[in-house]
Structure 1
Amino acid sequence: MTFAPAVARPWGDAWPLAAQTDDDNQWVTGTCWLYCRREGVRVLWIGSVTTPGTTGDVYACGPCVAELDHMARVQAHARDGIPHS
């Protein structure tokens, strides 16, 4: 699925780029908690998770941050009725 360039979309849909390794965010070396679950890769803290038994910090690598960003945009477009381009 592709999206129209930001200039072709309403201002409210012109999201910033997803975080990418070495983009001045606080990347560290660790384990990706998302889709790939790789160890010893550059990861970024993306938030906390709470389960019935505990809480934890969630870290994700660049490709998994990009996938999560894509999934959120697809959901927002569907919710807001934005047609797919």
Structure 2
Amino acid sequence: MSQAERGKHRRPHAARYLIDSYRRPEPAQPGDGNAWHTGICWFWCDFTVEQQVIYVGDIEVPGRLRGRLTACGLCVETLFEKTWRHSTYQDCKDVVGRRGNT
């Protein structure tokens, strides 16, 4: 079996172990010194309740509608988790891909 063929059969979780072993940052939380303010969470919470939120980005949808997205602490944690998993998955694909192509 050639080295390229062996690379195709590597398990991505082996590379993920190396990536996850780096120090993982903590998600933002109210009272951490970031710019939290009272507002409405745009994500998975009750959209009508004002609470401590933080700006996470802008959105633009067809029809030229724009908005400033804010999220509460729990939704920031969820976004952080999804982003972390996506990032480490992409890194694993890159690491395994490079090993398989050498």
- Alpha-carbon distance in 2 for matches of 1:15, 1:49: 27
What does 1:1-85 align with in structure 2 at a 5 Å threshold?
A: 9-10=21-22, 14-38=23-47, 39-53=49-63, 54-81=65-92
- Taking structure 2 as the reference length, what is the TM-score of the superposition? 0.63
Residue 5 of structure 2 is matched in structure 1 by none
Gaps of 5+ in 1: none
- Alpha-carbon distance in 2 for matches of 1:61, 1:52: 26
Q: Which amino acid aligns with 1:19?
A: A
Q: Specify which structure has the bigger relative contact order, considering alpha-carbon pairs within 8 angstroms and separated by 6 or more residues.
A: 2
**Once the two structures are aligned, what percentage of the paired residues are identical?**
31
Normalized per residue, the structure richer in helix is 2
- Taking structure 1 as the reference length, what is the TM-score of the superposition? 0.74
* Equivalent residues, number: 74
RMSD: 2.2
- Alpha-carbon distance in 2 for matches of 1:59, 1:43: 6
